[in-house]
Structure 1
């Protein structure tokens, strides 16, 4: 990180390291939740990047330049989206959050050559510490935004010392603010776009259930089995954040329905397990054991939920099945590196 203690972009992190009170930064220029929420619509729509205070957050200038290059389509995609994904992988999300509204607009532009890659990164700052997580209690968990009496929340701090919960909350707020741009992408001709749109929208605040209703609407028309499973997972994640008992019942009916495609039944079984504390019934176990073939497990790794849950020696579906239904089995990925390619 170099001379980060003398870099003004680390002012808040440095002050916290030196014992400053986090309360004093709430709502200020270093609170990325407040900064992201204050970005005006015309700044987002016009890509007026110079009006966003990137410099207030660690490596913000790198993110601004990456978004500029991506927007102008004048660089390889990894130059633009790779900066965002790389920073999130390195647990530095604060500046990456400010890229979210611009990534959404690139993704919504049907003429942009890198729209799918941009959409894939929209969700990166909105989820933290979830690699190899496949338990019922954690897989689809949206932890609450840190409150004033617990400002760090369950997320702790980023590698810079910045409160990680603030970054995650700000990213989810940015996705929520632009949900109307993301929702039409659920009907995009490209299956990868539909999957990534569902993944992004699952992180939105959905108090009026409009996002979940959009998932259900698309399910009625969806023909691709993997996308169908993505919509089921997204519905379950939205329900995990904002409980809705009828949806939990619907999820149970979904995995019991033999007319559903196997991928959707598997997603519904996992989703239902994450939404309840009930013991797994015998018919769920039988259905999962029958449907969770190796071929299907590898195919379902196209789903970002499963890709994040798995490891180099175990697919996400296999890990979920083992942890949720067969916890007595040893963990083959106990010391896994999430960046190691799966054999």
Structure 2
């Protein structure tokens, strides 16, 4: 990551630590939103990586090399692993610059790693999503932040581990995806189900004020035969609706989970989507239906959906965690079992050490 005191890629972050106003950097060379907006179409389509200022952002050189390796040699481990790993480590600024190139690799039907490229393309566009399974945050998708949305210099996303404003990275990534919706929409009908799932997952982060993206999900759902892909389209519709509320879509989601002719995966996705779109109490018939449908088999199957995979923990699947968190909040969190003493009665718990004499 470089030495904090000497690495020039941390110039803005160091200045912010020293008290500089974030707004003074808006639109400048360290604003990844501005860099993304200035990236020319021929740079993206021609993979002219030398025209992208990777060096301005933490570990930008590593991302550039990973994209080059992925594009030229089809190396999954050295390409998508770097981008996905940086996002998992809460470092998105440089990873954002890879998004247009990852989308183009995914659109290349002859590329051996297109599914892996698409799987990580939207990682920079989601700030807090790993381990999140609550109604409030599972599908939380804020609109792109602009300068006027900053509070005390930062937005609600806070900062990345480097000190870089996370909201800037997320906004830039979503803008990049929005700019490439024409490349992503055809992937909703790709022969590979995993491509269709990740196309929905990526498009769900696009800005969609005219509901074009959400309409494409509904249109594709009418032709989709794969239950898990259909479930992905339902969750993508819910995420897009969370960003751009639409009462008819919420009502449709409620009817969908009640429809016994639908596949269990679709009904479960619709129930979770509806819960994330409303603060209404959980209906009794929903609680009964979800408890019946959320079997171990379906939980395992739905872990192939990125929303569910990211929501899971070490002791329960994503579906199980969503069901527990949203429908049974009084149940104990299995993750707490990692702390042996937390589950013991007070009389059996170890006594605190005696104070020094």
Correspondence 1:229-248 to 2 at 5 A? 229-248=231-250
What pairs up with 1:24-43 in 2 under 5 angstroms? 24-43=24-43
Structure 2 counterpart of 1:268, from 253, 267, 270: 270
2:315 aligns to what SS in structure 1?
A: coil
Match of 2:199 among 192, 197, 210: 197
Post-superposition CA distance 1:261-311 (Å, at most 9, x none) = 110000000100110111111111111011111110111000000001111
How much does 1:89 deviate?
A: 1.1
Partner Cα separation in structure 1 for residue 31 and residue 327 of structure 2: 41
Q: State whether residues 104 and 183 of structure 2, in contact with CA within 8 Å, keep that contact through their aligned partners in structure 1.
A: yes
Aligned length: 335
In 1, the alpha carbon distance for the partners of 2:25 and 2:114 equals: 35
Residue 103 of structure 1 corresponds to 102
- Whichever of the two has the greater Rg, that structure is 2
Q: Distance in 1 between matches of 2:97 and 2:75?
A: 21
Which residue does 2:11 correspond to in 1? 11
Counterpart of 1:22 in structure 2 is 22
Distance 1:326 1:267, change over 3 A: same
CA RMSD of aligned residues (A): 1.2
Between the aligned partners of 2:5 and 2:86, the Cα distance in structure 1 is: 19
| Structure 2: gaps of 5 or more residues | 339-357
Measure how far apart 1:144 and its partner are.
3.6
Give secondary structure in 2 for the equivalent of 1:297: helix
Higher deviation after alignment, 298-307 or 130-139: 130-139
Q: Give yes or no for contact 1:145–1:153 (8 Å, CA) kept in 2.
A: no
Distance in 2 between the 1:26 and 1:333 partners?
A: 40
Q: TM-score if structure 1 supplies the norm length?
A: 0.95
> Which residue is equivalent to 2:177?
175
User: In the alignment, which residue of structure 2 is the partner of 1:62?
Assistant: 62
Task: Report the Cα distance in structure 2 between the residues aligned to 1:121 and 1:97, rounded to whole angstroms.
Answer: 11
| SS of structure 1 residue aligned to 2:303 | helix
Aligned residue number for residue 346 of structure 2: none
Distance 1:166 1:239 in 2: 22
Shift of 1:335: 7.8
Cα deviation, 1:316-342, whole Å, max 9, x if unaligned, reads 111111111111100112487xxxxxx
- The Cα of 1:4 is off from its aligned counterpart by 2.4
Paired with 1:144 and 1:331, the residues of 2 have a C-alpha distance of: 31
Alignment-derived partner of residue 279 in structure 2: 277
* Equivalent position of 2:131 in the other structure: 132
Consecutive unaligned residues of structure 1, counting only runs of 5 or more, are 337-343
Contact kept in structure 1, 2:235 and 2:273, CA below 8 Å:
yes
Q: Please report how far the alpha carbon of residue 61 of structure 1 lies from its aligned counterpart in structure 2 after TM superposition.
A: 1.1
Q: TM-score, normalised by structure 2?
A: 0.92
Contact persistence 2:74–2:111 (CA under 8 A): no
